[in-house]
Copies of this chain bind each other. A is one copy, B any other.
Amino acid sequence: MKIYLAGPEVFLPDADAIGERKKALCSQYGFEGLFPLDTQIAEQRSARDTGLMISEANETLIREADMVIANLTPFRGASADVGTVYELGLARGMGKTIHGYSNDPTPYTLRVLDHCGAASADQTAGELRDADGYKIEEFELHDNLMIDGGILHSGGQFLLAQKKAAIESTAAFEEVLIRLSR
């Protein structure tokens, strides 16, 4: 079983080492991990062409995979990394099982309030709005409902770290692998 390892680790300084660590964990539980940086893309004529070629290579890697495990730890805001979320949707549209984990167990509603403020100090539950007046989701889910829903409807799991941990921590990731190997 091949698992595509989606996540914002590709933006970290030690991305390759993290990828190797996650792939080694996959092997340990009987899976083959596919990491986005496995496909080395040569520099193209323009930066734009290089970017588009990386996208194509990642889509191909996801098509090859049997399932996805996505690192959905908040990245640059209250929600998961958009590139990771695109890949999760893509795999779901292809009919694959998608799984996710987050190293931040803070409820989504609180995370949005933390990052985006509140429309006013005194708000009614069920009617929360952020400082821009945008509705804040109050569904007791881990992120935007399309993410939680997609994972659950695909038959996947969305696991939370017990305590907040660094974005590259692999404890919750390993817990997903353990459950899948049972």
Contacts and interface: CB of A to CB of B under 8 A. Distances in A.
Contact of A147 (B56, B80, B86, B94): B86
Interface string A14-31: 010000000000000000
Interface in A80-112: 80-83, 85-95, 112
A80 B78 contact: no
Contact of A112 (B13, B76, B80): B76
A138 interface: yes
Given A12-B134, A94-B93, A138-B47, A82 B83 contact: no
Stoichiometry, as copies per complex, reads: 2
Interface residues of A, number: 60
A164 interface: no
Contacts of A137: 51
A178 interface: no
B85 A145 contact: no
Given A46-B140, A76-B115, A140-B46, A52 B146 contact: no
25 contacts: A10-B135, A11-B134, A12-B134, A13-B129, A48-B139, A51-B137, A51-B141, A51-B148, A52-B153, A54-B145, A55-B148, A59-B92, A76-B79, A76-B115, A76-B130, A76-B134, A77-B115, A80-B82, A82-B82, A82-B85, A83-B145, A86-B89, A86-B150, A90-B93, A93-B93
